[in-house]
Structure 1
Amino acid sequence: MLIRFFCGENGEGQTYLVFYAMFSQNIVCVKLFFHVSGEPTSCPIELSPIKAVVKHGDPGSVNCSTSDGTSKELGWEASQGGTRKSNATDLPWEVVSVTNWGMKPICYITNTDCQKTVDLVIYTFPESISFRSNESNDEMTEHKAHTFICDIFNIAPVQNLTVQWYKDDAVIHTAILNDETMEPTNLSPAFTFIPTRADRHVRFRCEARMDLGPEGPLFHASSAEYLTDVLCKYVIKHQLLFCYNTFFNSDTSINISDAFSSPSLYVRSVSALSVLPALLFYLNFPLKKNLSPTEFPESVLIGVVDERSPALVGTVLQLQCDIVSVAPAQDLNVRWMFKRGNETIRPGTFFLDLIITPLCLSPVNVSCIMNITLQKIHNDIQVQCVAELNLGPTLPQPPSLTSSPLRITVLYEPRINATKLPETVPVFRGYPEVLVCEADGNPRPVIQWEYSSQTAHVESEGKLNVSDAGVYICRASNDLNSTERVVEVILLEDYLPLIAGIVALTVVIISIIFIFIYSIYYKNTKMRHYSLKNPKFSNQNGNVAHNGWDIQLPVTRLP
């Protein structure tokens, strides 16, 4: 058997393959035609630039020209900026705002197979990236796998994206990401980290880099630092000495004779907890003293558990006191204080019953929650929580730590003071009366009067001057509710001036009658008629001189 192959091209530009097979005296001939797609080798199109990198939403442009300089009918095929032009040696593709992800503009010569595609890269970079942990708190456990996640949102394209995780300033892991998706993508690469006790209080972060080549920008972003702590089991190689007379840090020289009188004690090595007020010392001889490392709280915070719920009278308000980084937690005492100004309203003490693993003496975060059924008396009070460590009678007590005050605002519906505004008010004609409407509520109620009298008028908020009979309605309202009180004003006649006039007239009449009777009586009893005719003078004493005044005149009473 003889087999031969021949390859050629016909006049229409089609490529074919001829297959000859000769079996004995028979010859089989098969002619196969192939259609080859792509750009012809003689395509006279030049693109400038060949690769374009454009930010999403920015303008973009690429020029298409003929390499032989002859005029042809050029065109652009694209989802944005498609165009065509006859008798042209060049035709630019221009778009004011590139928004179609994955777009690949094609420049072509009409009625030919000559075309070239622009390598267009549309990109968008996030302004920042974030670092987080798969745990709800900021703590890790020694020798237990822990996952760190680097969130990179809204990035395109993902081409050789390099993500690096740092511990302090050292790279601890590198990941290279690629994604064929041209549209924006949210990435959350993760890294599993196994901590040791040496990783306490270290700083973690992640960085992301991506280079789009010489035509495009370099993407480089770094997350904020992430601080965490490591919970570990303390391996006790020797007995522990607790120096408690002096509060110090790891940079302070210590005279242990302040704590123990034996001059033969000396420190061989120090294992610092990086906390106050206690340090651990390794000694070269046994001691019969078992003490726990102590860390006073870093901070005490107070807040409301559900801040979205309004604090209404009768509802239960949950207050939460967070004590950050304290050890030993089983010796923690949380005390609540309620004050209005400088006056303490009522104290409250709550003791925490925590179960702490004996071998795990690391500081923990403690939360204490207290429920309060709100009343009006709780409005505008300040609440504080105090954290104290009770280390027992043999050790000095560290100072307490108090949170910032939390002001409680209790909301309640308005209520009108019925004592100052009775339902019935008598008013004398001509003497106006002031109706006082006072209401208690939070938020502060708005007082409004409703009346039909033409003479009534509002003097100030809640005070209404009335002089006519009628029905007057006081309405107090706030954001929670409104209430009203109906007052009936009764008009009374003032008879006091009339009575006073009658009394005065009666007094005058009685006075006149009395004077008249008295005058008649005086005339009849005190007044007489006498005659001076024929007077008879008495003899004068010759020894006494008389001036004539004491001469007695004889008179005769007339009938």
Structure 2
Amino acid sequence: MLSCYLFLIISLMISFRDVRVSTFDLSCTSPVFTPSALVVKYGDPANVTCVVCQKDCSGDSFGLEHAVGKVTQNGTTMIWTVDRLTEWDTFVVCYYNNDAGAQCFSILDITIYQPPESVSISFVNHTGMMFENQQYTLQCSVQNVAPVQNLTVTFYRGNTALGHLQSNSEEKKPVNETFSLNITPSREDNGAQYWCETKLELGPSGPQRPPVVISEKLPAIVHWWFTDPSCTEFPVFTPSALIVKYGDPANVTCVVCQKDCSGDSFGLEHAVGKVTQNGTTMIWTVDRLTEWDPFVMCYYNNDAGDPCTHILDITIYQPPESVSISFVNHTGMMFENQQYTLQCSVQNVAPVQSLTVTFYRGNTALGHLQSRSEKKKPVNETFTLNITPSREGDGAQYWCEAKLELGPAGSQRPPVVTSEKLPAIVHYGPELKEPPNPDVITITEGDTLHLNCSSVGNPSPSYTWTLPTNSPSYSGSVLTIKSVGFEHEGQYICTVSNPIGTVTKEFNIDVQVNSIPYIIAGMILGALVLVGLSVGCYCKHN
């Protein structure tokens, strides 16, 4: 029975690694692990000591459950050791039964880590020289690292940190992950070296010098158009920025200059589409915009021979192909006041940095999330949110909404895609509806007794009554005795149970003598005496 109970506990708790110690009863004094948490490199040895209890152990009903390794015992002290820790989902549970019969346990918090096997840096969809004031995406690829949620990636230009990124993944086993950062180089960056650094931040229980792996250095060659301060005007695009759905047509007009153009030294550079010209006005059109990194630049040389340029700001978007919601590592019923993780999976969306994901319970917004990715092309992204359901949430429906917020130049009705509805079944222990009873309930002999033990719970609770000696057995939420006698005096205990928990309610009944029949009998007797006396007197006088 105990092993089955522990298996249920471990199954429920293994997903909640931030819960370090759990007990089922407030009377429990938790077993104590030393150290209180383990941070172990994959393949290294490990050991921990558990003092099960100091004084409250009941017989031999204590021990230490473990998935790997071995246990040695010295009284109520358990020592767990493993020569090579190679299980990513291992568990160690220390438990005992106290004198009240409650089962008390602690689950050891174990973090198994593996530094990155390799780290590399590159540009996304770009090689060779770069142009000043154009946006490029740096990509840091990290191979075979765990746990990835503890990884911090920092991008550098020379010795200058450009940004710190972390993963949204909750995966415990080694993964490959890519982190990206947008940069807009200037002429001062020509010849600079870009690189990235990964650091596993494992907290106070981890190595005092966190594992660090760095990439190679990536040199940057930056080309620029020289724009002299003597330029009195710059090319003007209409509209000033383009936001285009992938595959749609697009067009823009550029007035190169009004008065400062020098001969024929002006034009419009473009990667796709075509250009028509009317004097110093350039019109760029494309039938289907299917390039994720298009480039449109309007330029001219002024009378001094200096170039003046303007690069069009273009955003290409694609609404999510699909949006779905689920629980992470959980199916079926949930338990009140336990933590669960909702997951919203968004497929094939761009640009993901413009995406806002909102989680809902019914019509109530639970949280808004955005991606840290700077990728321009369509990606699949997963967003997670922790929830702690209550009994009021039983039967509620969870869902998520993905909205592309494209700014004032975008559509006035941002593209929105919603997930299906995910119903929640929340189980919780019994709770009594009626307030506590007085210490003693006094009732008169012959009256009707009602003892109310009604409660709520999910699943619906069952009722068991413990009655005074010689009282009949009973089951149900309300016990009724139509005519109380002295044999019904005593203590009534109602036990309310469901698979989640048990509560009890006590009723102490005192039955008092019903004096009314005696008073009536006395009155009748008195009346009879008076009648007898009256008859006697009458007979005497006659």
Query: TM-score, normalized by length of structure 1?
Result: 0.38
Larger RCO (CA within 8 A; separation ≥ 6): 2
Higher radius of gyration, 1 or 2: 1
